[in-house]
Amino acid sequence: MDGDWDEVARVPFPPPGVHALPTQVTTMTFDTTQELLWAGNDYGRVTSFLSSELQQHTSFKAHQATDGPVRQILTNSKGVVVLGSKDVHMANRRGPPIWHLRHDDMKDLRCMSFTSKGTAEIIAAGLQDSMFVIDLIKGEVVKQVRTEHQYSIMKRGRYICAATRNGSVDLLDPVTFAVVKTWNAHSALINDMDAQHDFIVTCGYSLRQGQNYMLDPFLNVFDIRKMASMPPIPFPAGAAYVRMHPRMLTTSIVVSQSGQMHVVDLMNPNTSNVRQANVLSYLSMFEIAPSGEAMALTDAECLIHLWGSPSKLHFVDLPAPVEFATPEEAIHQLDWTPESPLNSVGLPYYRQVLASSWPELPSDVGAPPVKFDTQFLASLKPTDFALYGRNMRGLRRNQLEDTRSVHKSANSGLKAPKFLSEKARDLAKSESSSAGDK
């Protein structure tokens, strides 16, 4: 972390309604291709924040508020994948949905990870006995995998590192999803975990005096090459959150709940760079951008803090442009009069079939109006604006009525003379309808 790193922006996560209070961030992630930070809340809402000002960009609901918090967000070239407890939603970065997956066996999903197939496939797991392998291009469940362990955090390193509820980490093969190795990282539970190249780092709790959960005053490190744990790295303030630096392969950043940040080299733990984040409450989450040039922290007061060097801050190294609404071109004002033709506004250039093209459908334009039953009319109460009352006509609301034939039978007492062709048609009709009755 450079000397000039500081807090550059601080924004609240928007409230669920116009007069409501801001909401806690339940998960956040930096976009891997655009200058966006994605965050989710307890109401199933996902919002993207733009570059160093964290200006609100797009926002959408990944699932209903009743389905609980947004658990995790991943991004790939096509869009963002949002994990809820009971569903997986994929949306375009601009907001419109791409697909939505729900499955009866999705009961309490908590985490997901990309698999061996780059960013085209994920595995989703949780506090339940099955995991789902999902093809992100088709938006389909490819496979359901039974699991003995229930997972709360997943990170994709060389293996899929999956944290269980009892403080251990399973290393899953990214092709077969079989457990290759189990590492007992903490005695009670794991609070945060990251994995990169050769290392897995964890922060966790142990039970003190058999009743209080206390954050362990150290960071645990596992060496994947040697398949063995390394000596823990001391962090007296209580290690709550940890991320590996995406560029400096042996460097990790550890944060305490009160905002103390240490930049530690795992190979040389004695030299560390210390910073203090300005938080009034306690921190609830910590994330680092793919460029390593920005960090985001969230706190219990629903604020997102962005840290970085004010001059160099960026999220991704070669960002794809963020897609905004097309700027309105200057339009010449038209003076609308009752005579102005509608075609004074031109149709843009087009090559495909227009949306207004109407298919060949039969349409009845000359039918007589519906005649209301006198009994029905009598049941209505008159007011100065309309007659009203219950629908007693034995018809659905807005049901089509064949007024042509109704008209005929109603006038059966006084038949108008018919042409021969009409008589022949009527005969044919009655024959076909009686044939249909049999």
Partner 1 sequence: ALNSELFRELENGRIARLMMKLGTVNERQEFEGDRAWSENGERYMLKLFRDYVFHQVDSNGNPVMDIGHMIRCLNKLDAGVDERICLTSRDEQTSFVVSYKELKKQLVNAFNELIKAAKPG
Instruction: Report if residue 333 touches partner 1, rule: CB under 8 A.
Output: yes
Bridge partner residues of 9 (DSSP): 306
The secondary element (H helix, E strand) that includes residue 421 is helix 420-437
Query: Contact between 234 and partner 1 (CB under 8 A)?
Result: no
Q: Is the dihedral of CA 246, 252, 253, 256 positive or negative?
A: positive
Query: Which of 321, 308, 317 has the alpha carbon at shortest distance from 275?
Result: 308
Q: Scan residues 360-419 and list those touching partner 1 (CB under 8 A).
A: 361-362
Which H/E stretch holds residue 194? strand 189-196
Least Å from the CB of residue 97 to partner 1: 5
- Kindly determine how many residues on this chain lie close enough to bind partner 1 according to the rule CB under 8 A: 46
Applying the rule CB under 8 A, the residues between 23 and 52 that interact with partner 1 are: 44-45
324 binds partner 1 (CB under 8 A): yes
17 binds partner 1 (CB under 8 A): yes
As measured in angstroms, the least distance from the Cβ of 86 to partner 1 is 13
Minimum CB–partner distance for residue 18 and partner 1 (Å): 6
Site residues for partner 1, 55-74, by CB under 8 A, read 57-64
**Among the residue ranges 113-121, 196-204, 358-366, 409-417, the one whose residues contact partner 1 (CB under 8 A):** 358-366
Closest CB to partner 1 among residues 101, 230? 101
Where is 408: in which H helix or E strand? helix 403-410
CA–CA distance, 167 with 370 (Å, rounded to integer): 73
Interface with partner 1 (CB under 8 A), residue from 343, 409, 432, 434: 343
Which amino acid would we find at residue 432? S
Is-contact 49 12, C-beta < 8 A?
Answer: no
* Residue 351 φ/ψ region, left for φ over 0, alpha for ψ in the -120 to 50 degree band, beta for the rest: alpha
Q: Does 319 bind partner 1 (CB under 8 A)?
A: no
Quick one: which segment of 16-24, 31-39, 179-187, 211-219 binds partner 1 (CB under 8 A)? 16-24
In one-letter notation, the amino acid at residue 161 is C
> Residue 180 belongs to what H/E stretch?
strand 179-184
- For partner 1, the binding residues (CB under 8 A) are 14, 16-18, 44-45, 57-64, 89, 94-97, 100, 323-326, 331, 333-334, 336, 341-343, 345-350, 352, 354-359, 361-362
